[in-house]
Structure 1
Amino acid sequence: MENELDSREPRSPTAARISALTSHIPGLALASGVAGFATVVGEVFPLVGGPVAGVVVGALVAAVWKPGVRVRPGVRVASKSLLQIAVVLLGTQLSLARIFHVGAESLPVMVGSLVACLAGAFLLGRWLGIGGNLRALIGAGTGICGASAIAAVTPVIGAAGAEVAYAVSTIFVFNVAAVIVFPALGHVMGMDPDAFGLFAGTAVNDMSSVVAAATTYGPAAVDYAVVVKLTRTLMIIPICVGLAVLANRRALAARTGASASRVRLAGLVPWFLVAFLMAAAANSVGLVPAGVQRGFGELSVFLITVALSAIGLSTDLAGLRRTGPRPLVLGACLWVIVSLTSLGLQFTVGSL
């Protein structure tokens, strides 16, 4: 009888926390293993990159073997919490002083391209009948910084794994197209290295593809393209804040049955975006040594790969098939819009 009573006693809070942490290990190990393989694939095929390979390999694993209950808690943590940590680490790659130096020339082109992309995502996406979350992911990925922007936006809007997988795949297709087409286009137009760097930095999505396109064009274009691309990453903050406000208004309207006229900003800004900005500020004043910065950059890419691998493992392939080709059409339209807007604004401000 005494043993039976002992077995019914609730576990201590510490034991419960240890049990919860232990339950995450199988899923985290699986996502990390997929990410490790995807990283190797990304090194062999730099144009693909580890993060994109992660979501593809994860989806293939899920198609062959659907992850069971034992691994789901860890996969869920990897797809959310690790994404947020990765975004924070991205901030250590930014130098605000360097951004201000380049910003006077690049900001009009950068902001104009982003506005055109987001407007296109909203209008064309609605016309094509694409859901709001998927429109937001493809718009942010195309207009800001590919997989990193999708990683930042996902927890803010609560996007499903299938939506994230489709958005990342769509962005990847047009990254490849940009690396192939843009250098040839730049040579035809007679762009100087800085002009092409600005074009690549504003019109190509993921950093690996920006570097690939700029390197193909010429070594002198790479440095400028990378600075523009890192500056563009800062656009994650206002976009995520805006999406958080919209999500809060919709949730409040759903609860009250009426539209919300006022939204409190306190608590809407995700913690990881605040930490992202603090990391960028710390790096700007020299608090992040060069060696640590490189390590954080590599860790950030790997954590994004782990998170996207987890999202791939959670992907509903039947849901992707039901979605059809319309998001790919949206991605193509946005790619053209961003490219033409970047070139048009450069011509307007005299960069071309």
Structure 2
Amino acid sequence: METSNQVQTNQPTPFLTEDRKKYFKGLSQGLILTLIITIVADQITNLPFFSIMGIMIIAILLGMSWKSLMGVQTSASVGIGFSSKYLLRLGIILMGLRLNLQQIYDAGLSLILIDSIVIVFTLAVMIYLGSVFKVDKHLSALIAVGTAVCGAAAIVAVSSVIKSKKEFTALAVACIAILGTVGAIIYILLFPVLGLDPENYGILVGATLHELAHVIAAAVPGEAVSMDNAILTKLGRVALLIPVALVLGYMFSKDNKEETTQKKGLKNLPVPWFIFGFLAMSVVNTVNIIPLAVTEVLIDASVYLLAMAMAGLGLSINFGDFKQVGIKPVIVGVLGFAALAAIGPLLLLL
């Protein structure tokens, strides 16, 4: 004869417990909120001027504004965190489909040399300026990476490598958004007086501006030739995100030797696994395993996923967090971009 305790023990546990219901509710709330913000950001990019900023930057600014004006339900933090962490990783992996490594190789040594010089020079100058102005080294590194490699996407990728604070990541993204937008406008205005042919103008734009959206917008005056060279040069910088992340991951891992020696394994590599997923997708695109139509859909999906991650990041911070940082990081960003723009004409001699 079974006892009452045995009968209770043998009963199946319901799949949706109270805790699970709360989790899924918060997950859906946060995901829906970040999706709505991303959709609004996408619509805003159709407006003049805002198209230069791009959907990711607008999404993080909208997220910050929402948090400041409307507030965020505590329960939604689960979904917001999911967007800013897991959707971010998936978006970066799919972003690798933008790269065709064969095209970069075919462009020749000069393109690879230009992009390598840009990245090494910019990182060295801006990290040095950060030390001179006594800016937190994590923040300096993020602003430097955003300037040197590929804007917001590089910042959020490297932020997890060097384990920076959320407010540092948001500030770096905001700084790059403003500088890149201003830079694109300046290039457009200067195009008639620079005296560069469309090919070299495209290389200059692709080598020195921050975001892909900035590059595309600034290349418009030079028409198709400038656009093609600008995008190719820019994607060469994107391809170098992996070695940059490896180097920075190694440098910043030294700050916590005890943790890195105690924890071993794939999960605790100084560079997150999704960086290698980014490389894998680049290889997939290079060898044409996936049909072009599918690739284009996945690239569009990567942009939306990254924008949702940016919205989640914006919803996690406050404008007030920036007050503690001060104006010095912005000065570092301005001086670093000015230095990069100054060596731009020299890069065209290579």
TM-score for both structures, normalised by structure 1: 0.88
2:85 and 2:309 in contact (8 A); partners too: yes
Which of 284, 295, 303 is 2:286 aligned to?
A: 284
1:325 aligns with 2:327: yes
Q: Which amino acid aligns with 1:132?
A: K
Q: Is the 8 A contact 2:260 2:268 kept in 1?
A: no
List aligned pairs for 1:257-272, cutoff 5 A: 267-272=269-274
CA distance in 1, matches of 2:12, 2:334: 56
SS at match of 1:287: coil
1:95 maps to what in 2?
Answer: 100
Show the counterpart of 1:32: 35
Aligned-pair distance for 1:18? 7.9
Q: Is the 8 A contact 1:109 1:342 kept in 2?
A: no
Aligned residues: 340
**AA at the equivalent of 2:68:** A
In structure 2, the partner of 1:261 is none
Q: Are the aligned partners of 2:253 and 2:260 in contact in 1 as well (CA < 8 Å)?
A: no
Query: Which amino acid is 1:59 matched to?
Result: M
Percent identity over the alignment is: 26
1:122 positional shift = 1.1
User: Aligned with 1:205: secondary structure?
Assistant: coil
Q: Compute the displacement of 1:234 (Å).
A: 1.0
Instruction: Answer yes or no: is the 8 Å Cα contact 2:119–2:237 preserved in 1.
Output: no
User: Displacement of 1:207 after TM fit?
Assistant: 0.9
Aligned counterparts of 2:102 and 2:274: Cα–Cα separation in 1? 22
- Look up the match of 1:310: 312
Tell me if structure 2 keeps the 8 A contact 1:201–1:228.
yes
In the TM superposition, residue 300 of structure 1 has moved relative to its aligned partner by 1.1
Q: 1:221 aligns with which of 204, 214, 226?
A: 226
Deviation digits for residues 60-87 of structure 1 (CA, Å, limit 9, x no counterpart):
1111233232011111111111111111
Q: Distance in 2 between matches of 1:157 and 1:104?
A: 30
Instruction: From the superposition, tell whether residues 236 and 255 of structure 1 become closer, same or farther in structure 2 (CA, over 3 Å).
Output: closer
Distance (Å, rounded) in 1 between the aligned partners of 2:13 and 2:155: 39
Q: CA RMSD in A?
A: 2.7
Whether 1:47 aligns to 2:52 is: yes
Whether contact under 8 Å (1:183, 1:217) holds in the other structure is no
Contact 1:161 1:312 in 2 (8 A): no
Q: What one-letter code is carried by the residue in structure 2 that aligns with 1:205?
A: H
Rounded to whole Å, the distance in 1 between the matches of 2:202 and 2:165 is 34
Structure 2: distance between partners of 1:255 and 1:278: 26
What letter is aligned with 1:305? A
Give the drift of 1:126.
1.3
Q: 1:246 deviation in Å?
A: 2.4
What is the rounded CA distance, in whole Å, between the counterparts of 2:242 and 2:15 in structure 1? 36
Indicate yes or no: 2:190 matched with 1:188. Answer: no
Corresponding residue for residue 81 of structure 1? 86
Matches within 5 A, 1:122-271: 122-253=127-258, 267-271=269-273
What CA distance in whole angstroms lies between the structure 1 residues aligned with 2:159 and 2:260?
22
Among candidates 337, 342, 347, match of residue 344 of structure 2: 342
TM-score between the two structures when normalised by the length of structure 2:
0.89
The letter for the 2-side match of 1:317 is F
- 1:199 and 1:332 map into 2 onto residues whose CA distance is 18
Gapped runs of 5+ residues in structure 1? 257-263
Look up the equivalent residue of 1:220 and give its one-letter code. Answer: V
Q: How far has the Cα of 1:272 moved from its partner? A: 0.7
CA deviations 1:244-266 (Å, max 9, x no partner) are 2223221115788xxxxxxx998
The one-letter code sitting in structure 2 at the alignment partner of 1:56 is L
SS at match of 1:321: helix
Q: CA separation in 1, counterparts of 2:252 and 2:27?
A: 29
Counterpart amino acid of 1:126?
A: S
TM-superposition CA deviations, 1:200-252 (whole Å, max 9, x none): 11101111110111112333210111111111101110111122222322111
